[in-house]
Amino acid sequence: MRRKLAAGNWKMNGTSESLKELNALRDAHPDPKVDILICPPATLITSAVVTVADHPLQIGGQDNHRAENGAHTGDISASMLKDAGASYVLSGHSERRTDHAEIDEQIRRKTKTAHAAGLTVVVCIGETLEEREAANTLDIIAGQLAGSLPDVLTAENTVIAYEPVWAIGTGKVPTTNQIGEVHDFIRTKLEQRFGAGVGKSIRILYGGSVKASNADEIFAVSNVDGALVGGASLKASDFSPIITALENA
């Protein structure tokens, strides 16, 4: 049985004022039946960890450098995130791929470094609109999986997030058939590469315009083990019903 995961990615949003949203999530979900993760900006990780210290809610980073340390001004290492109290990190989010020209090879190296630091990595993949319209979605997904994942991983230290680029922040959501097709494909690829035991146990999240109003139908799709939520994770009042939908799925 895969434990479901409701993950929020705050992206470049949030100041200390936003910690009240974590308090509200704690109060709303004293004993959650699913894993909950919030990835705030790096500036808030330490205070976020303190805020949820006696609650199962986990805190994650949004990126780590592929090197363990060194002369990389402005970057953050995986061990720094771990030291700050993070237990997860995102890798290869499409905004990193676009804003920072990250390619699969870098994402694979970042993921390995994060694993070595003891972090669970949420590896993000997804096609652009042009790729979908050219009927290339599954080829793109196969290529990103092959290139972004290290050869050695476990179901405990790795989560996949399928985030179609055209669905992120747009209010456009794939049909449940489209989501199911890609999630089933990812599951098959994971089983082929890592063996049935690991491949069946890795959690696969859907991300892209998830909201309380569409969460129920998305969570009913096969091989959807949770969500990676952007905009609707910023306010507890928006994220909390998504957590509840996942608990009831």
Strand partners, 59: 38
Shortest gap between Cβ of 132 and ligand 13P (angstroms)?
16
Candidate list 14, 32, 207, 226; residue touching ligand 13P; CB under 6 A:
207
Number of chain positions touching ligand 13P (CB under 6 A): 14
Is 55 a known active-site residue?
A: no
Q: Strand, coil or helix: what is 9?
A: strand
Residue 209 lies near ligand 13P (rule: CB under 6 A): yes
**Residue of 21, 29, 65, 93 with catalytic role:** 93
- In this chain, which stretch among 71-79, 198-206, 207-215, 238-246 interacts with ligand 13P, using CB under 6 A? 207-215
Interacting positions 227-246 with ligand 13P (CB under 6 A) = 228-232
User: Does residue number 189 form part of the binding site for ligand 13P (CB under 6 A)?
Assistant: no
Please name the residue ranges forming H helices in the chain. 19-28, 45-51, 78-83, 94-99, 104-116, 129-133, 137-148, 176-201, 212-219, 236-248
Task: Quickly count helices (H) and strands (E) in the chain.
Answer: 10, 8
Active site residue 163: yes
Q: Where are the alpha helices (DSSP H) in 120-235?
A: 129-133, 137-148, 176-201, 212-219
| DSSP symbols for 216-230 | HHHHTSTT--EEEES
Is residue 40 involved in binding ligand 13P (CB under 6 A)?
no
- Token readout for 146 is 């092959």
Comparing CB distances to ligand 13P, the nearer of 11 and 187 is: 11
Residue positions annotated with a catalytic role: 93, 163
Q: Which residues form the interface with ligand 13P (CB under 6 A)?
A: 9, 93, 163, 168-169, 207-210, 228-232
